[in-house]
Amino acid sequence: MAVRISNAPVTGARPGAVAVDNPATGAPITEVASTSPPQVKATVAAARKAQPRWQALGFRRRRALFRASQQWLLDNRARVLDSIVAENGKAREEAVIELVYCVNAFSFWSRRAAGYLAGKRIRSVSPFVLGRAMRTRRAPIGVVGVIGPWNNPLTNSFGDAIPALAAGNTVVLKPSEQTPLTALLMLEMARDCGYPDNVFQVVPGAGETGEALIDEVDFVMFTGSTRTGRRVAARAAERLIPSSLELGGKDALLVLADAPLERAVNVAVHGALFNGGQTCTSVERVYVEAPIYDRFVAAVGLRIDEIRSGAPRGLGSVDVGAMTFPPQLDTIDDHVRDAIDRGARVLAGGNRGAGPGRFYEPTVLVDVDHTMKCMREETFGPTLPIMKVRDAEEAIRLINDSEYGLQASIVTRDSRRGAKIAARLEAGAVTVNDTQSNYFALGLPMGGWKNSGLGVRHGAEGIRKYTRLQSISVNAHPMRRDLHMMPFSPKSYDAILRLVSFLYGRARRRP
């Protein structure tokens, strides 16, 4: 889910290494050696050499390894959760969601990969290909490079590797330099579960490592900011290799006048504050129809008072954790100050948190409008700006007035009306009376419109993108010479034109 990827190593590390700290406490955890461009080149070469054997294993044997991986995650859940919480600073419950996602993903892709990638028989009505047997097949693309973000070090880093592996590719993962430890734990998992050597590899490092990876692999899966995504796409295009990009978002929530109030409040607060708002599908702006606005704002204020923020100490200790990426605090504060300067009112929060960790108070802003950064630019923090609108038509216009189009949500008692409004919103995914749950429906494609990305993850398209499509046509009983072949004959081409006129001309038309 979309984050900003730094091009510089984390400060405080030795040359050639990145330092990893705990965002919730500020305490250093460890240093991880950066992967140099020559090392990246060698790593990809090893992956390319291993790929044919991995492909030859077939879906059934890969499925067995995926089942072992599921069990490994469950058996080692405490280590995995500890790793995510320590390097990311999120609440332990949010780390559990990441674990559940990957356990589910191993199951889903092991069961669906073969069907999604099965060849298809093609029928043609053209008389010029009669007698040909035509079909398509899909082949692994080769070596997939995954460049992951810091906000979900398991879900959006290793999670994107799972369908690529299921399709028969080898994978080289570059995790964010802020959160490399969970990816390295997945490397341990692959070894423990018996994956062949070099099928899955991890190359920690900063921007230089990522650039080197793009220069070597056959496909790039990138999750990050729109600005960095453009650079990734341009670098991939220079090599004419495909890429899939999940980029920035400014996801909107529309609360209609008939909305069940408690559900609307829960969708808004959870959607905005889950993972500290550091999620590409976070609710970043709310539009509420005038008749329900005052009651909605009052109920949100009461609910925010119940939210606990701070360093996680286990399940049930906090609701909102730390800000993982240090510069993100400046962005959040800039958006809040800009809103206040332009006339917004702070209903709750509005300040950086105290203590050694990186925190921002869960913040509710009212009296906001589209002149403010908090309604137009990606904030990526625990903020909830709420705007009153006359009616749904005004809200639809304002929601679509954005450079982003990743996801949106609607709350209403009339689900049919909600679905009709959803079809008018310029977003790649829309949920009605829900928020973010669609991400766990792995059969449902998810991808951004506008500046929110290219391509999708999940569903058939989410694994087919990791393959090359080949068409095969077999003429099992060829004649010595087809009618259209050289040397050209006026008689033959006159026959062709008469046949075309007979099949497609006015004489064959039906009223």
Residues taking part in catalysis:
246, 280
Q: CA 396, 295, 435: angle at the middle one, nearest 5? A: 50
Which of 112, 126, 218 has the alpha carbon at shortest distance from 169? 218
- Bridge partners, residue 133, by sequence: 474
| Contact (Cβ atoms closer than 8 angstroms) between residue 347 and residue 365 | yes
Q: For residues 162 and 168, give the distance between their C-alpha atoms in angstroms, rounded to a whole number.
A: 10
Name the E strands within 71-216: 120-122, 132-140, 143-147, 170-174, 200-202
Q: Say how many Å lie between the first and final Cα of the chain, rounded.
A: 53
Specify whether the backbone of 350 is left (phi greater than 0), alpha (psi in -120 to 50) or beta: left
| Contact (Cβ atoms closer than 8 angstroms) between residue 47 and residue 172 | yes
Q: Which residue has the tokens 């693309």?
A: 141
Length of the chain: 511
Whole-number CA gyration radius for the chain: 26
Which of 175, 189, 180 has the alpha carbon at shortest distance from 221? 175
Q: For residues 37 and 499, give the distance between their C-alpha atoms in angstroms, rounded to a whole number.
A: 60
| Contact (Cβ atoms closer than 8 angstroms) between residue 438 and residue 429 | yes
| Contact (Cβ atoms closer than 8 angstroms) between residue 319 and residue 309 | yes
- Name the strand (E) or helix (H) holding 453: strand 453-454
Which of 295, 262, 256, 316 has the alpha carbon at shortest distance from 91? 316
Phi and psi dihedrals of 400, rounded to 5?
-75, -15
Which of 135, 139, 140 has the alpha carbon at shortest distance from 120? 135
- Bridge partners, residue 32, by sequence: 18
Q: For residues 133 and 337, give the distance between their C-alpha atoms in angstroms, rounded to a whole number.
A: 66
**In terms of C-beta density within 10 A (0-12 exposed, 13-18 middle, 19 or more buried), how is residue 339 classed?**
buried
The residue type of 476 is A
- Spell out the alpha helix ranges (H) of 215-259: 226-238
- What the block records as the tokens of 402 is 């954005």
Q: For residues 418 and 410, give the distance between their C-alpha atoms in angstroms, rounded to a whole number.
A: 6
